[in-house]
Structures are given as C-alpha cells and as structure tokens.
Structure 1
Amino acid sequence: MGDGPKLSVCIVTYERPAFLERCLRSLEAGLDADAQVIVVDASAEDRSGLVRSIRASAIYVHAPHLAGWMTRSRNEALRHARGEIVTFLDDDVVLRPGWESALLAAFADPSVAAVAGRTCNGHDGEEHYALPVGRLLPDGRLTDGFASVQDGLVDIDHGIGANMSFRRSLLAELGGFRDDYPGTALREDTDIFLRVRALGRRAVFAPDAAVDHLPAPHVRGARFDTRYKLYGRRNHMVLLARDGGLGSPLLRKWVGGQFAAVGRSRGISAKAKRLGVTIVGVAWGTGAALRQAKPRPLPPRREDALGRELRAALGDGVSASHPERTRGEGGR
C-alpha cells in the first residue's frame, strides 16, 4: 500500500445533489490534494459532471441499482479504495478545519484500527455527554455522545456512520461491510465496529476529527417516523443476535427493556402506539434474526463470495501480526 494515497474518502449518496455538492466543496477545501475521493451515487441521474467539476480526480460510480442499500454502496466504494486509511462520510456533512490532520494523528498510534470522528448536529448542549461515549451496555442499548467534546482519544465499542474511518488492511480482513441491514440502514455502522471489537482490535472516538452534520431530508419518510422505528428495532435485534448469538443475554434484556418502556410512555394513545410499534418491530426482528444469525456469534470475517472479492480488491489484511483466533471461529 506504500504507493497509494494515505487517505481515501468515500461518499455514498442518493438523490441529494445539493447536499453532495456542499459536501464535495468542503472536501476540496479541507483535504490534501493527494487524498482519494470516491462517490457512489445510487441516484437515477448521472452526476459525474458535477462531481468532477469540483474535484477532477474524484472517482464517480453511478449505481442506481444500489438505491435503498447504503452498505452495498459502501462495499462498492471499497472496490476502488486505495488509501491506507478509508473514511466514510455522509453526503450531508462538511469538514471542520483540521479534520484530516486530526484523523491521521489518531491513526499514528499503531494500536488504533478504527476511528469515529466527532459529528456535530448543532443541538444545544451536545458537547456535554454524561455517559461513556460509544458503548454497548449490558442491557443491549447503545450509548451515543459522538457530538461531545472529550479530552483526547476515547476507546469505544461502536461508532457513527456519518464520520467513520478504518485501516484498509482491517476492512480487507473483515471482508467489507455486512450489507443486509435494510430500510434506514440503522445499525450497519454499529455492526462493523462490533466486528472490529470481535477481532480484538481497538476503535476510538477522536473528537478533533470533527464534521458538521447538516441533515438532508430522507428521500423516503422522515427521521424518527414509524418506519424508522420499525427498522430500528428489526436491525438492532439482528445486530445483537449476530454479535452474541441467538441466545445472547443482551438481546433478551434489550427486548424486555423495549416492552418496559411502553409503560413509561405518557398517555393511553402514546402507550398504545409504542406498544404496537414494539410488537411489530420485535416480531419482525425475531424473524430476521432467526434467518440471519446463529446460536453462537457470527465470525467477524466475511467468508462468502463478496467478502472474498472485497478482500482481494483491498489486499488481504490478515497478517502474521494478528494470528489470534477470533470469536465465533474454529472450534466454537
């Protein structure tokens, strides 16, 4: 990898040309000239002219067949990534000054395999967060805090998809993203970070590698609508089942917590609505988990055809420096 760029920045986009343009202008102003930029666009219209008018060297992949599948678009970007560090940014973020240097400084520590950068949403008080950042809790819930200000690097269990980076060798070892988190794609970013953890690698939150998240409207539905909540429950159950197996105590505790939360809703109407969403979401998630998980944790490395293809495209990341057996492999 010594002949390639230090950094590849991947943008996945779908029918949001104004936000894509804003993001690309931010990259053009904030990245070194030799950084690789890759855009995978699932929109109906080819916008290669727009992309290359801003950054002539950008790789543009027009892939309308990937509409509705964010992680499949992410994997498409990996086919073209040549940087030692591979970043994924949402198309509705802009870089804050110093983002690239802060990111590379975090990876200067050889123990760091993955980085979640600070993602600022403009909400009052978001720079303060009382809980540990980016943790998977014993009851199956996830903590947030990715907009908070911290004193240096913070070890995390999971990161945020709007601003996440990995060593290319690690993505090769993993065989890319699991690309079957549908709908809103909730938890696809959590999934890959938990797989990093399952390999015994280190992920950190780097607050100085900051972006401003200026949310674009969803092409279908709205954030936090019923569709969003249903997919959230479905995908969270699949996530926990894959990470801990179908018998995961975290999965059982999380489901119990969802029903307990119904009783804390205010008013009969709110209770009834939340109960309905919880029943449907948990039932859907149960069916999906039974199909897509196993009694024991899934191996973090993809060994299917796509995983092997992406491993070859990225360069095999399995090396003698990491000979340990990983959870869910071998004699489990």
Structure 2
Amino acid sequence: MPEFASRAIGPTGRAPVTLTSSVIICAYTMERWDDIVRAVESVLAQTRPADEIILVADHNDALADRAAATFPGVRVLRNEETRGLSGARNTGVRAARGDVVVFLDDDAAAAPDWLGTMLLHYRDPAVQGVGGSATAVWSRGARPAWMPAEFDWVVGCTYVGQPTSPALVRNLVGCNMSFRREVFARIGGFSSDMGRVGKRPLGCEETELCIRLSQAQPDAKVLYDPAVNVSHRVSADRHRFRYFRSRCYHEGISKALVSRLVGAGSGLSAERSYVLRVLPLGFARALLQALMLRPAAAGRAFAIAFGLVATATGFMYGSLEQMWLAPHSETA
C-alpha cells in the first residue's frame, strides 16, 4: 500500500563501474513457470548485466530442479527458512555477493535499462534503497472497468498517488526494489512474521523493512524512480472483485502488524495522506463521471469506498488481534 514522496530529487549521475549487483527472483509454484522464464530472460537481457542472478524456490523441490536444469547461468537455491516470501528473500540475501541486492517478482519482467537506471542512483552514498514502477499487464487483455487506478497496489502495480518523477519515499514496492547489501547486515532481513505465503494475500514486509531502516539510520535515502520500470502480470484470479476484497482486508491486517512492530506513527504516516488526499479525489472524480452517465465510473466509486472500508476493517481486526496476543505472548 502507499508510499509517498517527502521531496523530489534530481538525477544522481553515473554509477561507479565497480558497483556489483545480485538480482533475486523468488518463486513458489510451477503454475507460474512461463512467468518465471520471462522474469529470468528479462534480467539476462539487461543493457547493464547483473553480476549474478539468484532464483529461490520456496519449498518446492520440483521447481528448483527444473529451474536448475533450465537456467545454467542462474544460481538456484532452496528456501532455508520458513515457507513464504520473506524467508525466500532472506535466503537469497544471505547468498548474494553483489554490493546491491535487487528483488524482482517471479511474475514481473524488467525493462532492458531497468538495472542500469536503478544502479545510477547508488552514486549517492546516502541512498540505501532504490525501487521503481510496475506497469500492470492484465492477463485478460484489459483492466476490469470497475477497478480504480488508485487501488492498483492491490495487484502489486503503480497506482494513482505515487510520485511521477524521482522522489524520496517511505517504502518501496516489493516487486521492484533494491538495497545495498550492507543494509541487511546492519538491520537484519525481512520479518518472517509478515509477507505472502503461497496465495495468501498478506504483505507489507518491505514496508516494515524500509521503516526499520529509516529508524536505524535516519539519514538513509530510500528512492523511488518511475523510470526503473517492470511489467507486472496480473493473473486472471486477480481480476475478480473477490480478490480485491480479500487483498484490501488482508492489507489492513498487515498494516496493523507493521504498526505494532515499528509504531503507528511510522507505520501509518503515508496511509493518512493517501486516505485524506488521494481517495477523496478519486471518489469525487468517479462519482462525477457516473453522473455523466458512465456506468463503469459508478463501479469505480463503489470500489474506492468499499476498498477503504475493507482495509480499515482488516486493520481494526488486526489491531484487536495484536492486543489480544500481546499479553498471551508475555506469559507464554
């Protein structure tokens, strides 16, 4: 969910030629095999080649074996931690040798200049993390007419409200992000208490990590550059309103956990701006279009209101759950 600019920044110039990179792709199911192939091939086709590519199979030996046989130039690892995206990412980080550790989702394909553009920003020694945009590729050919662009974060893509030029942000989007490898040595890896496990639509592990980074190193810069672009495929099941409802609700649960781990001030700072500024404008725009007899706009207005309520409900439930678990964990 949202991350907003604190201030815009200018270009950072050319990156040192000695800066090395490790690209990590985490995969969990053979159902995405074609996507995985596209993701790996897009990294192999970079104008600035990655120094190493690591594919982590999340407790799926068949997937690991097939990947090892198919991609001879790729380091294929098995998740050494608990099942889930956080554990798989941590496994990749431990094995990475590059100065910059880059994460690409298994259903995303990077633009040819993706890595080179990303690494340019690390010329500034204060930059500790760099991420970019994700263009939705709707598997059914077109986005659902009811789907508001303000909620494209639901499908892991760039949404209305994000910066349109390079800017400092609170957190990065998980499908397209990078950090200096030393960050993980300093603050630890992704929290195993958070993140997606299989198809369960939880998240926010990258949000928690970025906030933890800013708390440990207040002068650290986390940068979003929309020119650092990937195409992110939206599978058919994510076109349905049922997924939208579930993803919003589970985002609220995830935000409640983030707030417990890093504090409500940091955990909800960007969301306040999003709820008070972006969503009202989007709702008003959709409602106006609906009054002009555009039926799909009425669906978007409803989805904005519903998505906000579903996320808030998830947050309230998650907060109550955390309050109930806290005293029990202390006495355990």
2:170–2:270 contact (8 Å) kept in structure 1: no
> Structure 1: how far apart are the matches of 2:86 and 2:176?
14
**SS of structure 1 residue aligned to 2:62:** coil
Which residue of structure 1 lines up, in the alignment, with residue 132 of structure 2?
117
Letter in 1 for 2:247: Y
Is 1:26–1:94's contact at 8 Å kept on the other side of the alignment?
yes
Could you list the per-position Cα deviations for residues 127-149 of structure 1 after superposition, in whole angstroms to 9, with x for gaps in the alignment? xxxx9xx9xxxxxxxx9558764
Counterpart of 1:244, as a letter, is: G
Q: Structure 1 stretches of 5 or more lacking a match?
A: 125-130, 135-142, 295-332
Alignment of 1:1-332 (within 5 A): 6-15=20-29, 16-30=32-46, 35-42=51-58, 44-63=60-79, 66-67=82-83, 69-121=84-136, 149-150=164-165, 153-182=166-195, 183-198=200-215, 199-200=217-218, 201-216=220-235, 224-245=243-264, 277=310, 281-290=314-323
Could you say if the C-alpha distance between residues 34 and 117 of structure 1 is closer, same or farther in structure 2, counting changes exceeding 3 Å?
A: closer
Q: 1:24 to 1:147 in 2, by over 3 A?
A: farther
Q: TM-score, normalised by structure 1?
A: 0.65
- Structure with more of its chain in helix, by fraction: 2
1:52: Cα distance to partner?
3.7
Aligned-pair distance for 1:211?
1.2
> What residue number does 1:308 align with?
none
% of aligned pairs identical? Answer: 22
d(CA) in 1 for partners of 2:266 and 2:192? 23
Whether contact under 8 Å (2:259, 2:266) holds in the other structure is: no
Counterpart-to-counterpart distance in 1, 2:77 and 2:212: 27
Question: Distance in 2 between the 1:33 and 1:278 partners?
Answer: 40
TM-score (normalised: structure 2): 0.65
Q: Distance in 2 between matches of 1:73 and 1:6?
A: 21
Report how many residues are paired: 268
CA-atom RMSD in angstroms: 4.5
| 1:179-238 alpha-carbon deviations (Å, 9 max, x no partner) | 21254232112111222222211111123221111224569x987443322211111122
Contact 1:112 1:202 in 2 (8 A): yes
Runs (4+) of structure 1 moved beyond 6 Å? 246-249, 251-254, 264-267, 269-276, 291-294
- Distance in 2, Cα, partners of 1:163 & 1:275: 25
Q: 1:99-143 CA deviation, whole Å, 9 max, x = no partner? A: 12111111111111101122222599xxxxxx9xx9xxxxxxxx9
